[in-house]
Amino acid sequence: MRHRKPLCALAFAALVATGCGSSPPADSPDPSPDPSPATTSPKDLCTALITKWGRQIYDSGKETYGDYQSMGLSNGQYLILRDTLDLARAERSRHGGDAGRKLLTREARERCAKRYRHGQPSGGPWV
C-alpha cells in the first residue's frame, strides 16, 4: 500500500504526457508541428558568458577574477575574460565607464567568434 501514491502519480504523469490518449476531432485541421527547441551556438554561448561575468566583475570594481570553473568557463574562455577585462579597465581609465563596457562587449564577441570559428575550439571544449 505504501507504493500506491507514487504509482498513481507516475500513471497520472504518463497520461498527461501522452495527452490522455485523446486525439483531435476528425474535422479539425492538422495540428502544426511543435517548433524545434532553439539551440545556442558555442560562439554565442561563449559571448554571453564572457559578457555576463565581464560586466559583473567590471562593474564591481574588483581586481580579482574568481574561479573559472565556478563560472562555468573553460580555460580558454577564462583567458578571453581576463584579457577583455584588462582592456576594458584600461579603456575606462582613458574614456570612462561606458567606453570600457562597450569595449568589453565588442572584444568578447570578436574573441569568441575567433575561438569558435570552426564550431568547437581545437583541443576540446575545456581548453
pLDDT in tens, 57-111: 999 988 777 788 889 999 999 999 999 999 999 999 999 999 999 999 999 999 9
How many domains does the chain divide into? 1
Question: 95-109: string of b/e by CB count within 10 Å (b at 16+)?
Answer: eeeeebbebbbebbb
- Residue 49 is which amino acid? L
In a domain, 10, yes or no: no
* Sequence-ordered alpha helix ranges (H) in 1-127: 4-17, 42-60, 75-95, 97-115
For residue 47, what are the domain limits? 42-62+69-115
In-domain check, residue 27: no
Dihedral sign for Cα atoms in the order 44, 50, 56, 61: negative
In a domain, 17, yes or no: no
Q: Is residue 9 part of a domain?
A: no
Q: Would you place residue 34 in the very low, low, confident or very high pLDDT band (cuts 50, 70, 90)?
A: low
In a domain, 5, yes or no: no
The pLDDT, as a whole number, for residue 48 is: 96
Residue 110 lies in a domain: yes
Is 12 part of any domain? no
Q: Please say if the pLDDT value at position 122 is more than 90.
A: no
Is 35 part of any domain?
no
